[in-house]
Structure 1
Amino acid sequence: MTPSDLTPVKLPSGITLDVWDSGPTDAPALIFLHGFPENHRTWRDQIAHLSERFRCIAPDQRGYGNSSKPGGPEHYDAQSLIGDIFALAKELGVEKFTIVGHDWGGALAWGVAAFGQAMGIVERLVIANAPHPAVFQRLLFEDEAQRAASQYMRAFRDPAHDDAIRESGLIGLLQTALSWASRPKYPPEEMALLAAQWANPDNAFAMLNWYRASGIAVPPMEEPIGLPKGYIDPPFPPITIPTLVVWGTDDEALLPANLDGLDDWVQNLTVERVEGAAHFIPWEAPDAVNASLDAFLKT
């Protein structure tokens, strides 16, 4: 493992993000956003592959690692998190970039792309196993399998677990709330860093605040399947910039149905399904992800 060289970058908001900034500073910029419950190291294989040709910027996002961890879910709303990314780009002197996101980082990347395309700042979007917010919300109402797969989100939002989190961090909740048939096999050296971060209650609550601040509704299983009366899709603008979606089809949290109807929301869409890969596709199937990125970034 090549260790990451992290640099703290203070944003005008007062938030400080630890940032892995690798590659030529005058090369086209890629900003990589990790998801839950990981860190910038999610993208280690992609950055190793791309950093000779691109400036690769991978922050530990708000609430993760040694980045700022303001208390309370109100500090983790989508607008604030999206604002972090644009502020980070400005602080690093990046005028235009491709946004790349996985899991919660992908959910954020959809929003960054939606705002950034209108300003001419975000040129391309890459998503790895992260649902489009409008498609995902419909599935949670209409698709019983996806609703069942997402019940862990209700557990992550439930304050009944808070005393246990204060005592032992995140690991117990991860073990009980995620009823996956197979657990991700983290490399030991990566697991050591993650375990240390999960054990810190401040980190744990900050990570969970991404779920607790989200407006996504996750109905309980006993609620009838189907859209609520008068349901209207969230006002999410169409994505017009070139977009690559790479999806591990064995994902137990985010089912492949999230790809259905995606072209209704994305005008210039490439979808790469990776059979046999699961949720953590950037490091579970790095060769497939890197090949998809190579082809997409050449266009």
Structure 2
Amino acid sequence: MPEAFTLNRIALPTGVELDVATAGSPEHPPVLLLHGFPESHRTWRHVIPQLSQDHFVIAPDQRGFARSSKPAEISDYTPDKMVADLLALADHFGLTTFTLVGHDWGGAIAWMAALQNPSRITRLVIVNAPHPFVFQRTLFDDMAQREASQYITAFRNPGFETYIDSIGLSTFFDNSFARHTDFARIADEKPVYLDQWSQPGAMTAMLNWYRASPILVPAMDETPPRPAFLDGAFPPVTQPTLVVWGLGDFALLPSQLDGLETLVPDLTVVKVDAGHFVPWENPDAVVAAIKEWETP
């Protein structure tokens, strides 16, 4: 069955080339979709056909993923680099304003981009991705979330790629990815993931997103100094924002929604039946939530 989108290589002035899926008429309202770890534009494989009926949809393979460029340094993966890629991609398509949708790491980039660029990103959709302030706060104050996030410390270990090599990509898929979702729904995609992950430098590039992140993940027996910003004012997200949350997520716990309304004044939260990988497990619910939210 042919895909409902086209995939093209786009060179950006940020120094990277991205594979970018597009669908729908450029005359329709634009929406950019950002995937997370350890995925690609195919995160949105079942979302794109529905959204493209009345949107111009753009879904890149972000830097470091699949066959997009993989810069060599950890510093090439600080969040500001991905925000710059996003804005450059919007410029490439001549978009002055657009709706931004992000899942997982793509959602983390979307939060940051929306905070910094309210004149361009006019509407924001977050799918199981923590607000940066709430996430850092819960890593200090919610021991259950801290425990659930210890994998980040493992991913930051410089020897983690050696560990993956020792068990093989297929086992890594089964043990640290498939167990977070309904495997039956993604089993046919396993060869696609293994192909993407086996691209030269791909695993290191994907893990470098974690290594370059400023988020502090204390050990379970650690009491580190509390970041001062957690006890001060944090700038609000001013755009209308939809948060779609799969309640079966055991990597990002429901505490990620606590107090969110004070940080996002124009907030709509839709809770759905899914685990962490909501666009895979329940794409219809994601699309339905977006379309209902968009309707005046």
TM-score bucket of the superposed structures, by smaller chain: over 0.9
How far off is 1:164 after superposition? Answer: 3.5
Q: Residue type of the partner of 2:217?
A: V
How far off is 1:44 after superposition? Answer: 1.7
| 1:19-55 deviation per Cα after TM superposition (whole angstroms, max 9, x unaligned) | 0011101211000000001110111222111102100
| 2:90 matched residue in structure 1 | 89
How far off is 1:93 after superposition? Answer: 1.2
Match runs of 1:203-242 below 5 Å: 203-224=202-223, 228-229=225-226, 231-233=228-230, 237-242=235-240
| 1:125-161 deviation per Cα after TM superposition (whole angstroms, max 9, x unaligned) | 0000000000000000111110111111111000122
Of the structure 1 ranges 39-48 and 51-60, higher mean CA displacement relative to structure 2 is found in 39-48
Distance of 1:237 and 1:277 partners within structure 2:
30
| 2:193 matched residue in structure 1 | 194
How far off is 1:187 after superposition? Answer: 2.8
How far off is 1:203 after superposition? Answer: 0.8
Q: Are 1:37 and 2:38 counterparts?
A: yes
| 1:244 matched residue in structure 2 | 242
How far off is 1:167 after superposition? Answer: 6.5
| 1:137 matched residue in structure 2 | 136
Of the structure 1 ranges 55-64 and 170-179, higher mean CA displacement relative to structure 2 is found in 170-179
Of the structure 1 ranges 153-162 and 248-257, higher mean CA displacement relative to structure 2 is found in 153-162
Question: Matched residue pairs, number?
Answer: 294
| 1:152-180 deviation per Cα after TM superposition (whole angstroms, max 9, x unaligned) | 11110001223344667655555556795
RMSD: 2.2
Q: Between the two proteins, what is the percent identity of the paired residues?
A: 47
Q: Residue type of the partner of 2:241?
A: T
Distance of 2:11 and 2:254 partners within structure 1:
38
Q: Residue type of the partner of 2:263?
A: W
Contact 2:20 2:61 in 1 (8 A): yes
Distance of 1:75 and 1:255 partners within structure 2:
29
Unaligned runs of 5+ in 2: none
Counterpart selection for 1:284 from 265, 281, 285: 281
Distance of 1:259 and 1:278 partners within structure 2:
15
Distance of 2:251 and 2:50 partners within structure 1:
27
| 1:96-124 deviation per Cα after TM superposition (whole angstroms, max 9, x unaligned) | 1000000000000001111220xx21110
Counterpart selection for 2:293 from 281, 292, 296: 296
Match runs of 1:1-299 below 5 Å: 2-3=2-3, 4-117=5-118, 120-165=119-164, 170-173=169-172, 184-200=183-199, 202-224=201-223, 228-229=225-226, 231-233=228-230, 237-274=235-272, 276-299=273-296
SS of 2:191's equivalent in the other structure is: helix
Unaligned runs of 5+ in 1: none
How far off is 1:64 after superposition? Answer: 0.8
SS of 2:126's equivalent in the other structure is: strand
Contact 1:152 1:177 in 2 (8 A): no
How far off is 1:215 after superposition? Answer: 0.4
